[in-house]
Structure 1
């Protein structure tokens, strides 16, 4: 596996990664690989990103924005690994549209029949096992330790309940036959298995506003007793989602008690989307419960959603501005809604430690230690400077005016970057990428220390300045090469053809060094601007 760096002491895992199990809200192409004729594998799906990638949206999904927020490439679908193994270094997505938490047989015992039989949670776990059996075979050190820096995500439940609703099972009946508790138990057992594999950072999503989905509204149109909220959403459906989420959170609480060494975070999709609805006008939305690809009647809704005739089928109408709609088709969100929901996940007001936990899922402990060491070193050097000039008639500013002004400037940059890094936990989409902020703060902190050393111990100060300069120069020389390959790999994350081209070019060249560099690029936090490349060397 190309994600392994071989050293004198053996193979060492050097990548952070995202592994995901779930349903259509995070399916980045698995179902499209199995069924290229499915509607989400064709236009107008993907029209906002100018390519139909198999995502059930006009563009990117929440999982894509989570990957971007962690400065990782878009997560590769498991079914596409043979053509996209480079990005697999950064994780694998096992999610599949229409997937259920319970197996077909388990649902049948509750008199629930699946109209479409797609890989359920246990099947996706089998894929994960197969993948990690190969991965762990290549890791000489402990596999559990090797996976501890990765983020594991899961989302299930919507399709289990949707199948029951479509077959006229009432919500009270669903509660009585323990469908919710069984779904949550299946998720808990899957999480235990993932944790046994080495997962130490887990993000589990609840279900969102089912009563606002166009498909749900269409199916409730004949129900005269249905009540609606101020947004036109079916209250009973949304109340049921709340019930599932409450049971799920209780289950996650039990898991935290059983595994105190594992960060288990609840992804509050319900309140994330509720926030989008509450602020829809200021966010630029004009339609909340109507699909960009229009669905009107219950009969049409059932045909489009459950007989493989989604957006693009005869009789559907595509809106001219998807960014004004929350829903792309009758069940899935637009790219804009996905992006906003991903941002809202970072500041849930309903789980006290959610912000801190989510931030910890992304930030490495080593970087935090470096920030602490940098701040402490600056403090010590300032104290020594104060002692040096304590009994002198002139101040450091009078003796070294230019250096002190530069120090103040770099200190301001350092402090600003640190503050922005903390604010990022609250404003995910608006604050620049995590890696860039880390690089800016660490580089400015190092320069601040070097400037103080120029006054206290000039040889050390010049050495540190020269060292920083060499690092930046080396990075600058490599920047153009990394930028070109990085952008190609970024494009390849949603299209296998560019990646195939990259592989062919490097493997035909016959240069082992070039091939190694190409694979190593997958571990770099590629950004669009050259200055970000210069700063990444500090990471």
Structure 2
């Protein structure tokens, strides 16, 4: 009798726990992200030599380099937290942060472009540093898919309850075309953009927190290299290193996507506020 009562108690606890957990399910079961260094959280880190432990990257939130090209969290980190999910597991670094691939995977790779390597070769252009285009990331996803779900029915249900984010990507392709051009040539290519920037931007708004010399704190020195400095309060600036934004800027973008009107159609309501 005692064994039977104990079994009933255990069964009841398990039943109620299941009811409670299913009463308020998370809006998304998982998040899958594709992109470049704007959202890479550890894939390039798994391929290239690690940064110096004293590097300014990751210094604000993680207190050490975290595989992210910023001083702290990225837009994708804020979005995951808003939906009650952990930081996404980098595809090439699956053991990082003891991640759970069933709750999301990050395929973004720093330096990635939207164009395949063949495009650069055929057009006589200097290829990017990494051969991880968007199509390569999609191939990674296809290879991982059998691990995430087995049957077509299971996959349909699982992926319908997941959030897929593609981009930002393509900036590296544009940069490869324009980086060797003069300012005069760039003004001819993007006159409206240049005119808008010169009319509205100030040095302080455009100035990088981490970098070398010059009015915008940007030169050919990599953030954290000898001869570079870091601002005292990254939260007051938008630009982190001349190519990437600060955690504060990424948080504002995430707020606009999750809590604002940046996404069309809008994302599902998030159970947690972005802070």
Q: TM-score, normalised by structure 1?
A: 0.40
Aligned to 2:209: 292
Say whether the 8 Å CA contact 2:89–2:99 is kept in structure 1. Answer: no
Aligned to 1:471: none
SS where residue 358 of structure 1 aligns?
A: coil
CA distance in 2, matches of 1:115, 1:92: 24
Say whether the 8 Å CA contact 1:292–1:322 is kept in structure 2. Answer: yes
Cα deviation, residue 120, structure 1: 1.1
Which of 220, 223, 227 lines up with 1:315 in the alignment?
227
Aligned to 2:123: 110
Cα deviation, residue 226, structure 1: 10
Cα deviation, residue 90, structure 1: 1.0
Q: How many residues align?
A: 241
Q: Does residue 180 of structure 2 align to residue 167 of structure 1?
A: yes
Say whether the 8 Å CA contact 1:104–1:113 is kept in structure 2. Answer: no
Q: Does residue 258 of structure 2 align to residue 334 of structure 1?
A: no
Which of 73, 78, 87 lines up with 1:74 in the alignment?
87
Larger radius of gyration: 1
CA distance in 1, matches of 2:99, 2:197: 50
CA distance in 2, matches of 1:151, 1:64: 13
Which of 166, 188, 207 lines up with 1:154 in the alignment?
166
CA deviation digits over 1:366-401, x for unaligned, max 9? xxxxxxxxxxxxxxxxxxxxxxxxxxxxxxxxxxxx
CA distance in 2, matches of 1:226, 1:141: 50
SS where residue 19 of structure 1 aligns?
A: strand
SS where residue 105 of structure 2 aligns?
A: strand
Aligned to 1:348: 261
SS where residue 55 of structure 1 aligns?
A: coil
Q: Which runs of 5+ in 1 are unaligned?
A: 1-13, 176-209, 212-224, 234-286, 305-309, 364-420, 431-539
Say whether the 8 Å CA contact 1:326–1:336 is kept in structure 2. Answer: yes
SS where residue 18 of structure 1 aligns?
A: strand
Q: 1:289–1:109: structure 2 CA closer, same or farther, 3 Å change rule?
A: same
Cα deviation, residue 30, structure 1: 0.9
Aligned to 1:408: none
Aligned to 1:267: none
Aligned to 1:358: 266
Say whether the 8 Å CA contact 1:58–1:334 is kept in structure 2. Answer: yes
Q: 1:172–1:131: structure 2 CA closer, same or farther, 3 Å change rule?
A: farther
Say whether the 8 Å CA contact 1:164–1:174 is kept in structure 2. Answer: no
Cα deviation, residue 157, structure 1: 1.3
Q: Does residue 136 of structure 2 align to residue 228 of structure 1?
A: no
Provide the aligned C-alpha RMSD in A.
3.3
CA distance in 1, matches of 2:219, 2:112: 17
CA distance in 1, matches of 2:226, 2:91: 31
Q: Which has more helix, going by share of residues?
A: 1
